[in-house]
Structure 1
Amino acid sequence: MKRNDAEQIGLLIRQFMRREGLESPLNEYRLIQAWKEVLGPGISSYTDGLHIKNQTLYVHITSPVLRQELSMGRDRIVKNLNHHVGAQVITNIVIY
């Protein structure tokens, strides 16, 4: 028996997550997990901590030289991380 009012399961899951307030925390988690994939294992090995607060990603980098280098490319990093997740999760990065 075929139903005419069937909806795609992916759409239903996204609607449920949005309604229950779970979409934003999930996207934040996915963005933090994407840090190693987007920036690579070399930079990731100097990363000591990541967290998101008010659409700002806070990153602790242990190398002063790398910290300076990443600070100059913050806009590109924001764009690449958001693109990888597929949503506008962060608007800024603070590298300390």
Structure 2
Amino acid sequence: MKRKSNDQPLADVIDHLLHQYGLSAKYREFKLLQSWAELMGPMVAKRTDEVYIRDGVLFVKLNSASLRNELSYNRSKMVELLNEAAGKQIIHDIQFK
């Protein structure tokens, strides 16, 4: 079937709508939070009680003090990894609780 000249891929239409309604940044944050377990691995995911983003800061509540200490030493690497996964700089800092 021949495409009409004004046909666009669905992904492009969705991106346009998200941008039009000012939801692009929130959607990127949502996708990043959804991929937390995959990006950090099962050990970190299992010990994560809560994770959310506010004003470019990722807040991570962990149920392990030793893991919290270890991750705090790797904070800058984690920021880099998360932003790379998002395809844009979303996270400026990480706070562990």
- Per the normalisation by structure 2, the TM-score is 0.85
Q: Which blocks of at least 5 consecutive residues in structure 2 are unaligned?
A: none
Kindly provide the amino acid, as one letter, of the partner of residue 58 in structure 1: F
What is the Cα deviation at residue 11 of structure 1? 3.1
Of 6-15 and 40-49, deviating more is 6-15
What is the Cα deviation at residue 79 of structure 1? 1.1
Q: Is the 8 A contact 1:36 1:44 kept in 2?
A: yes
- Give the secondary-structure state (helix, strand or coil) at the position aligned to 1:48: strand
Question: In percent, how many aligned pairs have the same letter?
Answer: 30
Structure 2 vs 1, CA of residues 2 and 51 (structure 1 numbering), >3 Å: closer, same or farther?
Answer: closer
What is the Cα deviation at residue 3 of structure 1? 4.8
- Residue by residue, what CA displacement relative to the aligned partner does 1:2-56 show, whole Å, maximum 9, x if unpaired? 6556555433332221110111111111111111011101111111111111010
Q: Is the 8 A contact 1:31 1:89 kept in 2?
A: no
Cα distance in 1 between the residues matched to 2:28 and 2:13: 17
The residue correspondences of 1:1-96 to structure 2 (distance < 5 A) are: 3-4=4-5, 7-96=8-97
RMSD of equivalent CA atoms = 1.7
Q: How many residues align?
A: 96
